[in-house]
Amino acid sequence: MIVAALSMCLALQASTAMEHVRAGVEAHKSGQLDSAIAEFQKATELDPKLALAFVDLGAMYVEKRDFAAAIAPLKRALELNPEIEGVHQLLGYALLGQGYAAEAIPHFEQAHDDDTLGIALLETGDYSRAVPLLQKSLGKNPGDPDLLYYYGRASGLLSKQVFDDLEARFPNSPRSHQMMAQNYAALRDVPNAEKEYREALRLRPQTSGLHLELGELYARAQQWDKAEEEYRAETQIQPGSAEAAYRLGEAMVQEGKFHEARLALSNSDRLKPDMPETLYMFGKAASLDGDDALAAKCWKHVLDLEKDTPLVAQTHFSLAGLYRKQGKTREASHEMELFRALSEAAQTQEPPR
Amino acid sequence: MTDFTRRDFIARLALWGVAPAVFDAKLPRGLDFLHRNSPTAQKYLIESMGGGVALLDYNNDGLLDILLVNSGRLIDRVAAPEEFDRHDPQYWNRLYRQNPDGSFTDVTEAAGLASAGDGNYGMGVAVGDYDNDGYPDIYITNYGKNTLYHNNGNGTFTDITAKAGVAGGGWSCSAGFFDYDNDGHLDLFVTRYMEWDTKHSKICGGEWKTYCPPGEFPATTNILYRNRGDGTFEDVSQPSGISTLRGRSLGVAFADYDDDGFTDVYVTNDGMRQFLFHNNGNGTFRECALEVGASLTADGKPLSGMGVVFQDYDNDGRPDVLITVLPREIYALFHNDGDGLFSYRSLESGLGLLSAASSGWGVGLEDFDNDGWKDMFVAQSHVLDNVEQIDHMLHYKQPPLLALNHHGKFERAAESGADSPLAGRGAAFGDLNNDGLMDVVVTSLGGKPVVFMNQAGARSDRWLSIALRGTTSNRDGLGARVRVNGQTRFATTSGSYISANDKRLHFGLGAAETAKIEIRWPSGVHQTLDAVRANQFLELREPEKS
């Protein structure tokens, strides 16, 4: 008799708890988050074993961004039913939102949520695991700015971690000096960057890319004669590098060595054809070297490859100068018109009076 | 022993192989000027731009005197009305009379130049004999109102700005006298930088707090005043077409680039295209820099145009344009190709190596070693006084550049003697000690000027210095084209940056002992002199029109 009465009572409570759950769902649907929370709370009190009510309560707190309050009901839900759907993800959010990234990780793993797992791994400093996960997520959602941010941050920190490791374990290695040089170069500290590059080159003279980087350092400091020397060394180490040949040609144009520049740029064009920047500079070197026909050919090729870019405007301007020099007034005016049209927007930008 | 001069000593050194530097940088006795720009935390742009200098013989004693333009007092937050404390002597412009021993005497007060005017923050200076009385007059440009001082011929000046009607207003920088209508009276061109005032000032550079780039403020117009010949001027900016364009103008130079007998005007603009005003010969001008190839770099990029010279650097008889700019650009050289066209020749002339890391202001093309080719001198300094904190590759103070001209290609002088870095701004060129060698006075922003005395005499060749005496043309013959042994100069006191040069025309003659001189006066009169002896100062009078 007593058992029957107790069973009836429990069934009544359960049924009442479910009514509160249903009321909570309705309240949520109508946007009344606090009422929904109250209903789910009541349901958990009436039936402390109703996992569903704990899940809903935790979900409401997560939605309300009250992560601290969400954690306990979600954990309780998992205790009551470890297989219940969606709880791991919600608990992961709540824990991560409260700063417990390490605790959140297994829940995201359970939920197979790569985005947030990557972020949690980033927060715990496990960059090498975070980067591929975030990259994978970004592949699925390429336009997500948050993902882009986290991917960039994770990649940067991983890079720093690796470089720190390199410096700690191999402080006198050529790569360590190269890395230091890059840091100094980023700070525009030419003397120290130069010193580190030189040391890297002393330790391993044939390292590809080192002369190129040192050349770029000198070029940024407008020391074109030194830049030329480094680019030339790079072309000897990497005779197949179109970039090294291009840089060498660019430096020699600055120095007024137009004929030699032309040869280097021709080589760069041969190694990697149809590069607009190379063709523009090749045309410039040819023009300065007195070969107007070749200059015109290179610049027209740029115009075949590119449309409506600053380089195109530049090319029209250069062609106008060439035609003017040749007495081709009509052609020069036409190129100037095209130049004006492209550069008009930039040149008419005026602050308000 | 008493005949053994310093010059002889230098010559002897050269023979011994101990060649001295081209310049001896010094501050002559009595030249006690200190430029005061009063830099503030507000980074008012005017703080960074002043420091004009002029070389003129104000008392016609045959010795060049020096006028230095001061700026003024700025407080951290300037309130209206802007005052600048120019009544305080430390903010006066200063005129220094040269004494026969090469020292200088401050004659500012005696000359009547002590008052710089209320609300004026000083910038630059132009010199010209606007009333053809034989004495050079002075025009001071300011942020505020400009001032025209008439030279009374007795060692004093009178402020005749109001009567003359040339006060202008706004922010004036370089100015220059020239005779655009060939009526024998010097007219006046005034560049203005931008529409700016202390109330609308900004600070840029984020946490670095730097002066703002020019594009942050609206462009403005330049002014052309026509000399009526009665001591007054008429503002013809609008009818002449000069004010149809707005720019951010800093420099101005004059020459007749297309040989049509009328003086044209080149104006440098900061951070935008440059202007070439072609003189149509009927009182109007047409801006044509873009279409003639003298406006942008070879890549079609704008320039941070500051100082400018409009003279013939490659001895082809046509005036070329040399412009100083900011680092990571290259000083721009627009070669006059003839037929009214120009081509950008900076790389061909060697400026790529010489100037890519430099920031130039005052500039001159003068034959410092008298070899018959005009060399280049540039007063240098970055515009940002804290640039080294922002970019370790750049420097605020820089030594001036002396580049020698080897048949049209410039190369850095191995021993220039101009090695000390300074915040160079204005630069004026002239033969201070009348030794046949061109000297330079450079101003330093917030500092003392430096006089670069040319001591290349021992190594240098012969020379000729010509002062023009116009009769039908304006008295100083400004605008005349003078050819000497195949070299050409256009008579002007203008060019450089906010500065005015010796009106005499200096020619290096190389080894030639005599010279052939050909002058085309602004009046159209041609004059030729043959077999003129080298190493002398000549005054040539314009012949009557036949």
Please give the pLDDT value at position B8. Answer: 52
The stretches in chain B having pLDDT less than 70 are 1-20, 457-460, 546
Cβ-Cβ contacts under 8 Å, B348 against chain A: 256, 258, 288
Interface test with B, best of A190, A311, A324 (most B CBs within 10 A): A324
B462 near B511, Cβ under 8 Å?
yes
Taking the CA of residue B497 and the nearest CA in chain A, the distance in Å comes to 25
Q: Which of B291, B328, B350 sits opposite A222 (nearest CB)?
A: B328
Rounded alpha-carbon distances, angstroms, from residue A224 to A254, A269, B118, B435, B503? 7, 21, 49, 38, 38
Average of per-residue pLDDT values in chain B: 94
How many helices (H) and strands (E) in chain B? 7, 36
Interface test with A, best of B393, B394, B398, B401 (most A CBs within 10 A): B393
- Residues in B lying within 8 Å of A, measured between beta carbons: 195, 215-219, 272-273, 290-291, 293, 296, 298-302, 327-328, 337, 341, 343-344, 347-348, 350, 352-353, 356-357, 391-393, 409
Range with the lowest mean pLDDT among A146-160, A261-275, B115-129, B451-465?
B451-465
Does the distance separating the beta carbons of B392 and A187 come in below 8 Å? yes
B139 near B147, Cβ under 8 Å?
yes
Give yes or no for residue A3 having a pLDDT over 70.
no
Does the distance separating the beta carbons of A350 and B219 come in below 8 Å? yes
Cβ-Cβ contacts under 8 Å, A303 against chain B: none
Q: Which of B195, B293, B391 sits opposite A321 (nearest CB)?
A: B293
Cβ-Cβ contacts under 8 Å, B409 against chain A: 256
B54 near B500, Cβ under 8 Å?
yes
> pLDDT for B385-400, tens place per residue?
999 888 888 899 999 9
Does the distance separating the beta carbons of B300 and A317 come in below 8 Å? yes
Please give the pLDDT value at position B456. Answer: 81
Closest residue, chain A, to B335 (C-alpha): A325
Distance CA B129, CA A193 (A): 56
Give yes or no for residue A348 having a pLDDT over 80.
no
Q: Both tokens of residue B116?
A: 């710089």
Cβ-Cβ contacts under 8 Å, B343 against chain A: 321, 324-325
Distance CA B105, CA A316 (A): 57
Give strand pairing partners of B243.
none
Please give the pLDDT value at position A223. Answer: 92
Using alpha carbons, select from B373, B437, B438 the residue that is nearest to residue B406.
B373
Distance CA B431, CA B429 (A): 7
Using alpha carbons, select from A327, A302, A297 the residue that is nearest to residue A314.
A302
Cβ-Cβ contacts under 8 Å, A288 against chain B: 347-348
Closest residue, chain B, to A283 (C-alpha): B299
A77 near A54, Cβ under 8 Å?
yes
Closest residue, chain B, to A227 (C-alpha): B353
Distance CA B518, CA A29 (A): 98
B362 near B427, Cβ under 8 Å?
yes
Please give the pLDDT value at position B412. Answer: 95
- What average pLDDT score do residues A218-242 get? 96
A31/B contact by beta carbon, under 8 A: no
Distance CA A295, CA A262 (A): 10
Distance CA B308, CA B493 (A): 12
Closest residue, chain B, to A258 (C-alpha): B348
Q: Both tokens of residue B324?
A: 């100083």
> pLDDT for A106-139, tens place per residue?
999 999 988 899 999 999 999 999 999 999 999 9
Does the distance separating the beta carbons of A324 and B293 come in below 8 Å? yes
Q: What element of type H or E holds B475? A: none
Cβ-Cβ contacts under 8 Å, B299 against chain A: 284, 314, 317-318
Distance CA B287, CA A109 (A): 71
Cβ-Cβ contacts under 8 Å, B359 against chain A: none
Distance of CA B427 to the CA centre of its chain: 6
- Binding-face residues of A in 230-289 toward B, CB within 8 A: 253-256, 258, 284, 288
Q: Which residues contact A213 (CB under 8 A, 6 or more apart)?
A: A178, A181, A182, A185, A197
Give yes or no for residue A154 having a pLDDT over 90.
yes
Closest residue, chain A, to B327 (C-alpha): A222
Taking the CA of residue B50 and the nearest CA in chain A, the distance in Å comes to 24
A67/B contact by beta carbon, under 8 A: no
Does the distance separating the beta carbons of A347 and B347 come in below 8 Å? no
- Binding-face residues of A in 106-165 toward B, CB within 8 A: none
Using alpha carbons, select from B396, B494, B387 the residue that is nearest to residue B446.
B396
Q: Which residues contact B131 (CB under 8 A, 6 or more apart)?
A: B137, B150, B231
Cβ-Cβ contacts under 8 Å, A324 against chain B: 293, 341, 343
Please give the pLDDT value at position B83. Answer: 85
Residue B394 identity (one-letter amino acid): L
Does the distance separating the beta carbons of B352 and A313 come in below 8 Å? no
Q: Which of A187, A256, A325 sits opposite B350 (nearest CB)?
A: A256
Taking the CA of residue A77 and the nearest CA in chain B, the distance in Å comes to 51
Distance of CA B283 to the CA centre of its chain: 25
Please give the pLDDT value at position B457. Answer: 63
Interface test with A, best of B347, B390, B412 (most A CBs within 10 A): B347
Higher pLDDT, A190 or B66: B66
Cβ-Cβ contacts under 8 Å, B356 against chain A: 222, 224, 254
B409 near B415, Cβ under 8 Å?
no
Give yes or no for residue A208 having a pLDDT over 90.
yes
Q: Which of B218, B356, B409 sits opposite A351 (nearest CB)?
A: B218
Closest residue, chain A, to B349 (C-alpha): A256
Interface test with B, best of A216, A250, A315, A317 (most B CBs within 10 A): A317
Does the distance separating the beta carbons of A313 and B300 come in below 8 Å? yes
Cβ-Cβ contacts under 8 Å, A347 against chain B: 272-273, 302
Distance CA B372, CA B462 (A): 9
B308 near B266, Cβ under 8 Å?
yes
Task: Please count the other Cβ atoms lying within 10 Å of the Cβ belonging to residue B102.
Answer: 15
Cβ-Cβ contacts under 8 Å, A256 against chain B: 347-348, 350, 352-353, 409
Collapsing DSSP to helix, strand or coil, B421 comes out as: coil
Cβ-Cβ contacts under 8 Å, B298 against chain A: 284, 317-318, 321
A313/B contact by beta carbon, under 8 A: yes
Q: Which of B301, B302, B343 sits opposite A321 (nearest CB)?
A: B343
Q: Both tokens of residue B213?
A: 């780039």
Cβ-Cβ contacts under 8 Å, B341 against chain A: 324-325
- What average pLDDT score do residues A86-115 get? 92
Using alpha carbons, select from B128, B45, B125, B136 the residue that is nearest to residue B362.
B125
HEC string of chain A? CHHHHHHHHHHHHHHHHHHHHHHHHHHHHCCCHHHHHHHHHHHHHHCCCCHHHHHHHHHHHHHCCCHHHHHHHHHHHHHHCCCCCCHHHHHHHHHHHCCCHHHHHHHHHHHCCHHHHHHHHHHHCCHHHHHHHHHHHHHHCCCCHHHHHHHHHHHHHHHHHHHHHHHHHCCCCHHHHHHHHHHHHHCCCHHHHHHHHHHHHHHCCCCCCHHHHHHHHHHHCCCHHHHHHHHHHHHHHCCCCHHHHHHHHHHHHHHCCHHHHHHHHHHHHHHCCCCHHHHHHHHHHHHHCCCHHHHHHHHHHHHHHCCCCHHHHHHHHHHHHHHHHCCCHHHHHHHHHHHHHHHHHHHCCCCCC
Between CA A221 and CA B191, with CA B397 as vertex, the angle to 5 degrees is 100
Taking the CA of residue B369 and the nearest CA in chain A, the distance in Å comes to 24
Does the distance separating the beta carbons of A351 and B216 come in below 8 Å? yes
Interface test with A, best of B292, B334, B353 (most A CBs within 10 A): B353
Give strand pairing partners of A40.
none
Does the distance separating the beta carbons of B273 and A351 come in below 8 Å? no
